[in-house]
Homo-oligomer: A and B are copies of this chain.
Amino acid sequence: MILEIAQIDVKPGAEAEFEAAVAKAAPLFKRAKGCTGMVLQHSHEKPQRYRLFVQWATLENHTVDFRESADFQEWRKLVGPFFATPPEVEHVKEVLKGF
C-alpha cells in the first residue's frame, strides 16, 4: 500500500471550480487498478494549496497503470485548467502507526 501525495496550487479564485472538478473525477480513480481511496485536503496556511491523497496497492498502479491510461488524460482535462503550477507528486509509505 502506497500513498500518493500530490501538492496542487490552483489559480487565485479557482478553488470552488477545482473542488467540483475533483469531485467529478472521483469515479476515474475509483475504477483505476489498485486504487483504494482518494481524498482532497485543503491547506490552512495557503488557501490556494491542496493536497490530493490517493491510496494505491502498488507504486506501479499509479505510475504505470493510471498514468498511461485514458482516464489519466481525462483527469488532467478536468482539473488541469485550474492548476497555477504543475503539481508536485510524492509517494509515501506508512512505516509507523503511533496510534
Contacts and interface: CB of A to CB of B under 8 A. Distances in A.
A92 B41 contact: yes
B44 A93 contact: yes
A44 B84 CA distance: 25
Given A41-B3, A51-B5, A30 B99 contact: yes
Number of copies: 2
B43 A94 contact: no
A91 B43 CA distance: 6
Contacts of A37: 98-99
19 contacts: A3-B41, A22-B96, A22-B98, A23-B96, A23-B98, A30-B99, A39-B94, A39-B98, A40-B94, A40-B96, A41-B92, A43-B90, A43-B91, A44-B90, A44-B91, A44-B92, A44-B93, A45-B91, A46-B90
